[in-house]
Amino acid sequence: MEWFVEQDSIVRKIWGKGDTILFIFGGAAAEFALNKAVDWLYFTGKLPADPLGRLFSTVTYSRLLVFSNKEDAYKTIDNITRIHSNVEKNRESKIPDWAYRDVLFMLIHYSIASFELLERKLTDAEKEEVFVVFNLLGIRMGLKDLPHNYNE
């Protein structure tokens, strides 16, 4: 079986600990509120109606990606893309690519920062590994103008 994220990956270590996940989402949630395109998040009314439920839903999707085989992970990403496409269609406004990239970069940054805060400093190779995993998510979602490596 081919995994989306290798079993010995640092990404599985990061996303396998509840404390780290809470730090990731705490930091990303605070920063996300500053995002200029955040209005799309409130369009369905689900976030303000049940913020904790949305947190757990997002964590579930994230863990499905990190701990699934490649085929199931691609199905999850395709479902995420479909959900966003439906929101765009229903609100008659496209979510800008830069907003998607901002969220992707938050996941990368807070994955690294949270682990380093709670555990240890990551090597450059481990940071690159985190980037590669989330960049694959962005590529599968069809995002444009993604960087080619962590340093970019």
Look at residue 109 in the predicted model and tell me its pLDDT: 96
Whether 30 is in a domain gets the answer yes
Look at residue 16 in the predicted model and tell me its pLDDT: 94
Look at residue 41 in the predicted model and tell me its pLDDT: 67
Instruction: Please report, in tens digits, the pLDDT of each residue of the chain (152 residues total).
Output: 899 999 999 999 999 999 999 999 888 888 877 776 666 667 677 766 777 787 788 888 888 899 999 999 999 999 999 999 998 999 898 888 888 898 899 999 999 999 999 999 999 999 999 999 999 999 999 999 999 999 99
Which domain covers residue 94, as residue numbers? 10-140
Residue 112 CB burial class (10 angstroms; 0-12, 13-18, ≥19)? buried
The domain tally of the chain equals 1
Whether 121 is in a domain gets the answer yes
Whether 49 is in a domain gets the answer yes
Here the contacts of 40-43 (C-beta below 8 Å, separation 24 or greater) are 40/87, 40/88, 40/91, 40/93, 40/95, 40/99, 43/87, 43/90, 43/91
Report pTM: 0.90
Whether 132 is in a domain gets the answer yes
Whether 2 is in a domain gets the answer no
Whether 1 is in a domain gets the answer no
Whether 150 is in a domain gets the answer no
Whether 146 is in a domain gets the answer no
Look at residue 33 in the predicted model and tell me its pLDDT: 73
